[in-house]
Chain A
Amino acid sequence: MSEKYSVIGKNVHRVDGTEKVTGTAKYTFDIVLPNMLYGKILRSPYTSAKIVSIDTSKAEKMEGVYAVVTAKDTIHKKQGIWRRFPELCDEEILCSTKVRYIGDPVAAVAAIDEYTAEEALNLIEVEYEPLPAVYSQLEAIKEDAPQVHDGVELNINVTRHIEWGDVDEAFKECDVIREDHFVCSSQAHMCMETHCAAASYSYDGKLTVWASTQASYYTQVLLAGMLGMREGDIRVIKPPVGGGFGGKFELDSAQFCAALLSKKICRPVRIVLTREEEFTATKRRTPIVYTSRIGAKKDGTILAKEIRGITDGGAYTGMGATALYLTGFFSSFPYKYPNYRYDGYRAYTNTEPTSAMRGFGAPQAVFVGEQQIDLIAKDLGIDPIEIRRINGMVPNYEVPGQAFIQSCGLHQCLDKIDNYIKGRGKLPANRGIGVAAYGFMSGGIFNWFDTPYAFSSAIVKLSIDGKVDLFTGACDIGQGSDTTLSMITAEELGVKLSDIRIHAADTAICPADLGAWGSRETLMNGNACKMAAADAKRQIIEFAAAKMGVNIVHDLDIRDGWIYLADRPERKVSYYDIVREAIRGRDGETIIGRGHYTPHRKGMISPAYSFGVQAVEVDVDPETGKMKLINVVTAHESGTVINPIGITGQLEGAIMMAGGYALCEDQPMDQGKILNPSLADYKVIRSLDMPKTEIIEVDTYEPEGPFGAKEAGEGLTNPTAGAIANAVRNAVGVTITSLPITPEKIFMAMQEKKAKEKKAK
């Protein structure tokens, strides 16, 4: 027992591995229930219009059509995930009087097959009266802009203010001040499995929903509200999910319409959104325009930052309000700004709603912040790594009034990246390395959803043979939480990973969990699982101590299936035997361990933060502006590594996604219409475009996390766009302040630079 841990930190096969590589994993997309119907949703072709009338009679009469629903079939409620704030619950899902973007649902059909359902949509006659519309946040906040939601002044949906220190005074003391403007674009989650749900309402008034969701608990609760049902009568099951990335934890049109249709006719209904619907009628990354002012002393100490962000909210609130908050908070990361001010505004527009997406406002903040740090370093004549060292966060740092940071390995990461860059030596012409530093949260503390439950809970149940059933509401959406949580449970209980069978995210049998977002599962649910395992372990040890007749001065522990005296490991009994005897000894009562976790006294944002620094090397074609990603090196720390293969996968995947955000992923619009709603036109990084990746793990230990672990996955999306922008500047001397960084933008900026230089001569 020389190594510290038996299970965690080891390379293991994921617990869902074999079913995924053999094609036997059944996703929501694959579910076929007896007597099931297929649903399709009719959506608004207008960006803004009054619904004058909807005539569904022809569709209803069509052979093979079993139900048609519109707003008339609902209980006329509006929903939103910010439940604490009724004014932010603004989405009917099935629109009653007004549509607000191209894709807003107006009706849904259940039919014998998808062909029939789609044909039936063509028979629904909707009379619209087009209304004036507004398509960008800067237009939306003008005095005379059309109103997206009645009574919302200047279309301002939410505002956010964060401030500490005395920013105005501090700027007076700065030697260098610069102000820059940045534009961050949208991005599609582009989950491989589109949004889908199968709903089955029974004659006895119970509803079961299989959903491709990141938070089965949210789906359950929000559906209950929208259907006028009790939460307990709704069971939401999350089968394997084909990706989420922030796009699947709000109630969506597939879930709601499938449930509503099923409730109307007591037959199962499955709805799978098409790829086009996925692009145009779900949610997307929040586009933001920023003005950022930063001031520093000659020695590189940054005294003040003042940043304003205006986000394009699209038609509804969703999780967009949180993105507005987090982009303001993470604009202060990972530096010790003594004086800081953020003003954020979220404006409604007549476009597809914007919301959470991996990084949650932070990739945008880092694109802005890390470019500006490089720019001011240049103004000051200070090395980019050095200025980050001077100002970087340290362990036990308090973000004034906001957050308390315990573990922080930023400086070690900076050292590693510094060494790497120095090791590369002089680069050829038109090559450049750019750096970006970042920090990210391990789950959110904010409870705008107003859940009365603990944020995470877990139950461990032991079988007579010592095998373990783990019940938790955590949602594995591909990131691997089922494996991580099973590893934590196995480690704590002292059994093999193969002894654990996890049952996750089925609201009828698992305790509530807020789901997979904000990088919360490892820390929050991990703590709950660890506590549940510890609870079960305590019960076994009680029995073992009595059975072994151990002097009470000794501590017992369990590891690798043995219960032993901590200071005399040779005195041991089999865990499996003891469990069998313990259950018999307790009159057959099942051994159940319970655990839960809610952060307390950890500030306003998150109980823990992870940090990292990324260096990206790019090569720019000076004649065309085409940029190639050569290598991405990331030094990062995420506390104790639970599942190393999982972290590598998260990191490389983050580079694919964040690199895409920087390079090619965008959703350009013409008057509110997304111009590339197909994978032929929406470009994502593929294997030939993917750069080499290197990971440098930095050791830290997070006291708040299970076995010292914290976030590893979402934060890794943050640095890449900023690092690439810095790399382009270092390669060819141009600053690109808007995303994505296309060859055309680089080319045009280079032309402009040449023209300026010529003029200067």
Chain B
Amino acid sequence: MIKDFEYFGPKTLNEALVLLDKYRDDYKIIAGGQSLIILLRQGLLQPENVIDIYGIKELDYIKSDGKKGLKIGALTTHREIEYSDLMKGSFKVLSEMEHLLSTPQTRNRGTIGGNISHGDPAGDPAPVLMALGANVKLASVAGERILDMEKFSVDYFETAMEHGEMLVEIELPAPPPHTGAAYTKFNIIASDMATVSVASCVTLAADDTCTDVRIALGAAAPRPMRAKAAEAILKGKKITDALLKKAGQAASEEAEPVSDISASEEYRRELVKVLTARVTKEAMSRAKAG
């Protein structure tokens, strides 16, 4: 049962930030509530104050800024991203990822900002955002700061957000030409959280040399992580199957998975190995096609 709390429903970002500052010591922000309400009901969270930001319309947007890339407001629902016309080119992976995320009702209600702020290492958006080189914008009464997505997730359900801060925007840089991105997740039931997930974004030169690659792993460590050793193997080279296999091996070694009821640590490493190679190959073929 949920313990009662004070409820605030700010309608503007400013109102919200003032509330965050005022109740600095004991509040929880709720957006779509798709993760938070479960924790409230289990009694694991018993905040005095709940600040419901879902009504802040100014944070619900997707803007394409041509050369500068894409900006997504924190309160954009998964569903809006899933079906947005702006998810083109290498951003198409975002809509594909959203399609795999949980169930229609959750996608209708849940927001991308809420998802990554929850900090679940098995969440779908974070690895994709990391692979795409996203930055997140955090706001507080003191002002704004921009953080690399990689630095945003810190540990299990922990982010770099300070008390009084909230996530307001996700910024995606425009990809160079011949860039392709792909995402895959392994689970047993389609709507389930990832046992392991991998996102990969590859940029190729005219001669198909890999000029840049970013690989991010989900559910393979206490936080979504970049597989930098794997990237190093591929960067600057012409990617072959043999090289992909090597990269998969490297990713599997740098991952820090644990055993749980879904899979053993050993099996998770195998999955990282296979999926890293597969999804990077897909990203590469998209880069070529792009």
Query: Do A and B share a direct contact in the complex (Cβ within 8 angstroms)?
Result: yes
Q: Establish whether residues A748 and B261, one from each chain, have CB atoms under 8 Å apart when the complex forms.
A: no
CA distance A623 to B261 in the complex (A): 21
Nearest opposing residue in chain A for B270, CB measure? A747
Q: Is B267 an interface residue (CB 8 A)?
A: yes
The bracket for how many chain B residues form the interface is: 10 to 19
In the complex, how many angstroms separate the beta carbon of A510 from the nearest chain B beta carbon? 37
Residues of chain B within 8 A (CB-CB) of A664 are 188-189
Residues of chain B within 8 A (CB-CB) of A747 are 267, 270
CA distance A743 to B196 in the complex (A): 13
Q: Establish whether residues B264 and A689, one from each chain, have CB atoms under 8 Å apart when the complex forms.
A: no
Q: Is B190 an interface residue (CB 8 A)?
A: yes
Q: Establish whether residues B274 and A686, one from each chain, have CB atoms under 8 Å apart when the complex forms.
A: no
Interface string of B242-268 (1 = CB under 8 A from A): 000000000000000000010110010
In the complex, how many angstroms separate the beta carbon of A675 from the nearest chain B beta carbon? 5
The verdict on A684 contacting B274 (CB below 8 Å), with A668-B261, A744-B264 known, is no
Residues of chain A within 8 A (CB-CB) of B270 are 624, 747
CA distance A626 to B188 in the complex (A): 8
From B189, B263, B264, B267, A683 is in contact (CB under 8 Å) with: B189
The verdict on A684 contacting B189 (CB below 8 Å), with A668-B261, A744-B267 known, is yes
The verdict on A118 contacting B267 (CB below 8 Å), with A663-B188, A686-B191 known, is no
Residues of chain A within 8 A (CB-CB) of B264 are 744
From B38, B189, B271, A624 is in contact (CB under 8 Å) with: B271
The B180-210 residues at the A interface (CB cut-off 8 A) are 186, 188-193
Residues of chain B within 8 A (CB-CB) of A430 are none
In the complex, how many angstroms separate the beta carbon of A279 from the nearest chain B beta carbon? 13
Residues of chain B within 8 A (CB-CB) of A668 are 261
Q: Establish whether residues B261 and A689, one from each chain, have CB atoms under 8 Å apart when the complex forms.
A: no
How many CB-defined contacts (below 8 Å) exist between A and B?
43
Q: Establish whether residues B1 and A118, one from each chain, have CB atoms under 8 Å apart when the complex forms.
A: yes
Residues of chain B within 8 A (CB-CB) of A681 are 261
From A115, A685, A742, B1 is in contact (CB under 8 Å) with: A115
CA distance A218 to B17 in the complex (A): 60
Q: Establish whether residues B186 and A624, one from each chain, have CB atoms under 8 Å apart when the complex forms.
A: yes
Residues of chain B within 8 A (CB-CB) of A683 are 188-189, 192
Interface string of B28-59 (1 = CB under 8 A from A): 00000000001000000000000000000000
Residues of chain B within 8 A (CB-CB) of A663 are 188
In the complex, how many angstroms separate the beta carbon of B82 from the nearest chain A beta carbon? 15
Q: Establish whether residues A686 and B188, one from each chain, have CB atoms under 8 Å apart when the complex forms.
A: no
Interface string of A625-660 (1 = CB under 8 A from B): 010000000000000000000000000000000000
Residues of chain A within 8 A (CB-CB) of B188 are 626, 663-664, 683, 742-743
From A115, A119, A675, A685, B261 is in contact (CB under 8 Å) with: A675
CA distance A624 to B271 in the complex (A): 7
Residues of chain B within 8 A (CB-CB) of A577 are none
Residues of chain B within 8 A (CB-CB) of A623 are 274, 278
Nearest opposing residue in chain A for B191, CB measure? A686
Q: Establish whether residues B189 and A676, one from each chain, have CB atoms under 8 Å apart when the complex forms.
A: no
CA distance A468 to B115 in the complex (A): 57
For the A-B complex with A685-B189, A689-B190, A744-B264 known, give 16 more contacts whose Cβ atoms are closer than 8 Å.
A115-B1, A623-B278, A624-B186, A624-B274, A624-B275, A626-B188, A675-B261, A680-B38, A680-B193, A681-B261, A683-B188, A683-B189, A683-B192, A686-B190, A688-B191, A744-B263
